[in-house]
Amino acid sequence: MTRRAVVTGASTGIGAAAVRLLREHGWDVVAVARRQERLAALAAETGCDFVVADLTVAEDVDRLAAEVAAGGPLTTLVNNAGGARGLATVEAGSVEDWRWMFEANVIATKRVTSALLPLLRDGAEATGSADIVTVTSIAGHIAYEGGSGYNAAKFAEHALVAVLRLELAGEPIRVIEVAPGLVKTEEFSLNRFGGDQARADAVYADVPEPLTAEDIAESIVGAVELPAHVNLDLITIKPVAQAAPSKLVKGKIAVKR
């Protein structure tokens, strides 16, 4: 049977790229995000199905689960929705920004995983295996100045994934974490800086070949299309220009002698 995936945060960036690549590989895909017009455009482009939902709202997640269940077995969940707000210190950071980051990155991932896990078990029985892929960040593994709330949220999401893998041990459900470094997308830094385009552009200025959303989509699809007994627990993916969150090369990359 055709494999079927749900991809959250699918209206832009990594989520949209993952939807496109999964469709190219012949998957049935349900794209999930808040913005109906973007999802409708993605559906017209790729032939995916879509559900408009705010994953920080419990009733929306319940409705998502019901609509996905009505479409048949589910074999893969890609938890991609999330984001960052600000670069403030722990002392000065906005509690509201922190609350939003925990809701969007941690609580939403928990809600969607809990709601769709019964459907993934159905899919695993039908096909022999299922997958839960969660897109976190290297910010969930290495703290950096300016990270504060985003570090805290992504460290929590990383822990959620690690515990889930232990809890599902013995079931034919792979738990995969994809932790990207610097990815140049349309909206991530723009949202982080409250719509300040110049500040967002400066993040990537003079960085030789930052990652693209398509690079991360390749890692997601590659992981879920491996033989069912092979689990990539953690994929850490950074551009060559980035050695660590706080070590980013600007300008030309060249051999040093």
Residues annotated as part of the active site: 150
Cα 44 to Cα 167: distance, rounded to the nearest angstrom = 38
Asked if residues 121 and 173 have their Cβ atoms less than 8 Å apart, the reply is: yes
Residues in Cβ contact with 109 at an 8 Å cutoff, skipping those fewer than 6 apart = 79, 81, 82, 134, 157, 160
Rg (CA), the chain: 18
Q: Note the helical H segments in 79-134.
A: 95-102, 108-127
Cα 236 to Cα 139: distance, rounded to the nearest angstrom = 11
Cα 145 to Cα 91: distance, rounded to the nearest angstrom = 12
Cα 139 to Cα 54: distance, rounded to the nearest angstrom = 24
Residues in Cβ contact with 120 at an 8 Å cutoff, skipping those fewer than 6 apart = 74, 75, 76, 77, 130, 131, 132, 173
